[in-house]
Amino acid sequence: MDIPARLLNGLLMIALPLGLGVFLARRMGQRWGLYGAGAVTFIASQVLHVPFNAWILNPRLEGLGFGARGLSRELIVSAILLGLSSGVFEEGARYLTLRFWQRQARSWGQALMIGAGHGGAEAIIVGILALMAFFQAVAYRGADLAAIVPAEQLAAAEAQIEAYWAAPWPEALLGAVERAFSLVVHLALAVMVMRVFTRRNRLWLAAAIGWHALVNTLAVIGVQTVGAVATEGIVGVMALLSLGLIFLLRDKEADTVSEPARPIPQTEPAMIEPSEVRLEDSRYAD
């Protein structure tokens, strides 16, 4: 099960968001163009988010001592800052998409499709990277790395390959589980941002940023303190709460498909009996 589980992990990361898109398109009649808009939104958010973290935020977090195991004030502050970074860039991009690009999208179902594309793009990219790592690990397993890798990188490469195969195969599927939970969270966040426009209240944007930041903060703290399996349990709880938010914030009237107007029945004009017309009532009587 070792190799199949690791292969399945990457394939599920790609298949799950695509399956969600198919479901929303067929069951709710949503356009794939909205899915694509959500995907572009995620990618666009990372154009600024990744450089911000790499050049500005991460160097400062290293000064705080981020990365050490165990719960500490430094870890909590670092996790909050990382969570806020994700929330501001991704929800800000989602807001701009709805504000200037997808201005016709204003329903609950359309928000779900945009959220599926946003979270789907992230899952597919991570899935592709997971598959690349899998095939690389398979190719290097049992190989003489000294003949392939430069000497100064040999120790690090051997450690990475050993760590990859050392993880039990059930843990190899945690990536797909996390992507499934993340998709649910992204659906809820998209619905929240949509309410900025359907309710004309920008506090919903702040709420979306806060919820996004909270989920990421708990995940970062969990990985550093309780391990990957327990962290997925925490993220799973947040996904369940997000699922509740999705249905709690549903605008039924906005997603009700209106029935086509029925034609007004054509009635025959009333027949007037000659006896009912009096000669003296006519203006043109002789």
* Range picked from 1-10, 38-47, 161-170 for highest mean pLDDT: 38-47
Give the integer Cα–Cα distance in Å for 137 and 2.
Answer: 12
Closest CA to 195 of 245, 141, 159, 154: 245
Question: What pLDDT is stored for residue 276 in this prediction?
Answer: 41
Question: What pLDDT is stored for residue 218 in this prediction?
Answer: 97
Tens-place pLDDT, residues 111-147: 999 999 999 999 999 999 999 999 988 888 877 777 7
What percentage of the chain reaches a pLDDT higher than 90? 67
More confident residue, 59 or 192: 192
What percentage of the chain reaches a pLDDT higher than 70? 86
Confidence of residue 74 (pLDDT cuts 50, 70, 90): confident
Question: What pLDDT is stored for residue 64 in this prediction?
Answer: 73
Give the integer Cα–Cα distance in Å for 75 and 225.
Answer: 10
* Range picked from 132-141, 184-193, 250-259 for highest mean pLDDT: 184-193
Tens-place pLDDT, residues 204-252: 999 999 999 999 999 999 999 998 999 999 999 999 999 999 999 997 6
- What are the extents of the domains in the chain? 2-252
pTM across the whole model: 0.83
Question: What pLDDT is stored for residue 66 in this prediction?
Answer: 65
More confident residue, 50 or 283: 50
Distances (CA, A) of 30 to 10, 20, 130, 143, 191: 27, 11, 29, 49, 15
Q: Coil, strand or helix: which one is 7?
A: helix
Question: What pLDDT is stored for residue 281 in this prediction?
Answer: 43
Neighbours of 199 (CB within 10 A): 12
Across residues 149-173, what is the average pLDDT?
82
- Residue that is written with structure tokens 């165990």 in the block: 70
Confidence of residue 67 (pLDDT cuts 50, 70, 90): low
Give the integer Cα–Cα distance in Å for 164 and 5.
Answer: 12
Q: Coil, strand or helix: which one is 199?
A: coil
More confident residue, 43 or 271: 43
Cβ atoms of residues 182 and 122 within 8 Å = yes
Give the integer Cα–Cα distance in Å for 120 and 30.
Answer: 15
- Phi, psi dihedral angles at 70 (to 5 degrees): 100, 150
Question: What pLDDT is stored for residue 159 in this prediction?
Answer: 83
Across residues 90-108, what is the average pLDDT?
95
Confidence of residue 17 (pLDDT cuts 50, 70, 90): very high
Question: What pLDDT is stored for residue 258 in this prediction?
Answer: 35
Tens-place pLDDT, residues 52-64: 999 999 988 887 7
Cβ atoms of residues 122 and 175 within 8 Å = no
